[in-house]
Structure 1
Amino acid sequence: MEEGKVKLLAKFNLILLLVFAAGGVLISQLAHSYLIGSAKEEVQAQERLMMTSARSVRDYTADEVSPLLQQNPRHHLRFLPETIPAYAATTTFAKLRKDYPDYTYKESALNPTDPEDRATGWEVEIIDWLRDHRDEPEKTGERPTAMVPALYLATPIKATKECLECHGTPAAAPKALIAVYGSANGFGWKENEIIGAQIVSVPLSVPVANADRAYRRLLFFLLLTMIAAIVALDAAVYWLVIRPLRIVSDTADRISRGEKNVPPVQIQGKDEIANVASSFNRMQVSLAKALKMFEEE
């Protein structure tokens, strides 16, 4: 009977494993796609927070810091980069990168004063897109890099009236600015013109790594759940099905060997197994009566 029990449990476990395996593959694939998407959304939310922080630094510099520094007599003799909102935002973000080294920030322009800020390649495409879609507050997407693809968030930079004081014409620009950067670049801007973009980018490996960590945890708990479910179902099958059938089988073996006065099978309940036991008991009684009649003859 032990052999039969093992075979029945083995078949039952095989079915469970097939069902769990099929369901696990489907769930894991759906979960991985969902986790990747969620990780990207989380990273982009952080990018928006950093972009908002950079924009706030720009506004504070333009509204509060720059007017004060322009009153400094040294401003007319030596160019003070601290008066430039873009410089303040870039410098602040550079300090922020100590805690977020994977994130990069750049203010790219088509015609900047500083050649290092000139847009190249994909940055030009982003600025052109923002120019063609002036109603869109931002542009997000993925871009290829030398190592791994990167997620980016870009918002337009519009030239304000205050910007034209330095970027209108070389003649109107501060002499200290001309002395540092010359008069060849960064002029001819027009008010409300989109002249560049603030771009925050992060390697795609960051959200993928976040998703993979969550995915591994999910697989671990799924495996634990599957093992616990199999153990629980095995115990239930043994106590509710195999054990009662074993009692019926042992009783049948005793009767088949010619034992008399074998007690009836005692199985409580109203399920199918209990019905089998009741039918077996009736058969046992009928068989005993038949044997008695045969012996009397």
Structure 2
Amino acid sequence: MKLIVKFNLVLFLVFAIGFAAVGFFANRLLQRNAKAEIVENARIMMEAALAVRAYTSTQIKPLLETQIKYSFLPQIVPAYSANQYFGQLHKKFPEYAYKEATLNPTNPMDRATDWEADIVNAFRQSQDLTEQIGERDTPNGRALYMARPLKIKDAKCLDCHDTAETAPRTVIERYGSNNGFGWKLNDIVGAQIVTAPIKLPVQRARSVFAVFMVSLAAVFAVLVAALNAMLFYLVIRPVNQLSTLANEVSLGNLDAPDFEMSSRDEIATLAESFRRMRRSMVEAIKMLEA
């Protein structure tokens, strides 16, 4: 087996191992970063919902609170404002969703589905649990959800949610007297749940991974070509020329031209040693003939 073949076999073996290792760790890193990006997007959505709720509570509700005696305006409800805000966002980005899922809501649209009820019950069973993150399948594909508990911390909430008898008349007229009552202070009645798509960041991660691996393979191909050219011109060709000259001398052709090299590397040292050996042989033969 020729030297250049052995060299390339070793090179390809090293590259294959390195390529697989780099690909494995690069893919894990990109996928982890993609998931971190999804979680960060969900967290931004959650904070946006909290900001809308806070704005409604501090800026909108005081202005419209007196109107509840005459007509119930849902705009004073923080949950309604947050849902409306994300409802507009959902029209343009249908993969993103927000819901204040409640076990016993005033508005039936806020009633928790089975999987949402499981999240709410998990918060109710573990009061120290402040956040849940998971994945689930949706009609738009795999999605990540982030949930935080809805806890009754303000006693004013009970003005509308304590009993049907004490609730404002306009609330009963709008939503009826069967739902949204019996809430207690410090009770967890629901959960804020934001949903963000997984496929987009994951697809970007896969695209980056593919480009990275193709680029790595291209760099390797260029490197192999450069190393093979260097090996051929600096080692193999001079060694072949020196081998041919050695064969000529061994067959008795002592007049074969010397092997000349302008470099000062190991091959040049070998060529110089061969020239000295050749001169010594010629002198020894001449002495024997004399």
Normalising by structure 2, report the TM-score.
0.90
- Shifted more, 41-50 versus 225-234: the winner is 225-234
SS of 2:160 mapped into structure 1: helix
Unaligned runs of 5+ in 1: none
For 2:287, the equivalent position in structure 1 comes to 293
Counterpart among 258, 263, 267 of residue 268 in structure 1: 263
Residues 1-297 of structure 1: pairs in structure 2 closer than 5 A: 7-72=2-67, 75-98=68-91, 100-145=93-138, 148-159=141-152, 160-256=154-250, 258-260=253-255, 262-266=257-261, 268-271=263-266, 273-296=267-290
8 Å CA contact 1:61, 1:85 repeated in 2: yes
> Matched residues in 2 for 1:195 and 1:181: separation?
18
The Cα RMSD (Å) is 2.2
CA offsets 1:67-106 (integer angstroms, 9 cap, x no match): 111234xx43332111111111111112223554321111
Distance 2:13 2:131 in 1: 48
- The count of corresponding residues between Structure 1 and Structure 2 is 288
- Alpha carbons 2:248, 2:256 under 8 Å: kept: no
Inter-partner Cα distance in structure 1 for 2:8 and 2:256: 38
Instruction: Report if the CA contact (8 A) 1:265-1:281 is conserved.
Output: no
**Aligned residues of 1:254 and 1:262 also touching (Cα < 8 A):** no
What is the percent sequence identity of the aligned residues? Answer: 42
User: Which shows bigger deviation, 287-296 or 59-68?
Assistant: 287-296
Distance in 2, matches of 1:288 and 1:266, equals 21
Contact 1:39 1:208 in 2 (8 A): yes
Residues 76, 113 of structure 1: CA spacing in aligned structure 2 closer, same or farther, 3 A cutoff? same
SS of the residue corresponding to residue 150 of structure 1 reads strand
| CA distance in structure 2 between the aligned counterparts of 1:217 and 1:101, rounded to whole angstroms | 29
Tell me if the contact between 2:95 and 2:140 (Cα under 8 Å) persists in the aligned partners: no
CA distance in 2, matches of 1:101, 1:217: 29
Output the amino acid matched with 1:231: A
Deviations 1:201-252 (A, max 9, x none): 1233233212212211211221222112212222322233223313312432
SS of the residue corresponding to residue 31 of structure 1 reads helix
- Looking at structure 1, the residues matched to 287 and 141 of structure 2 have their Cα atoms a distance apart, in angstroms, of 90
* C-alpha contact 1:247 1:265 (8 A) present in aligned 2: no
Show CA shifts across 1:42-82 (max 9, x none): 1100110110001110111011101111234xx43332111
TM-score normalised per structure 1 = 0.88
Amino acid at match of 2:241: I
The residue identity in structure 1 corresponding to 2:8 is: N
Q: For 1:254 and 1:131, locate their aligned partners in 2 and report how far apart those are by CA, in whole Å.
A: 94
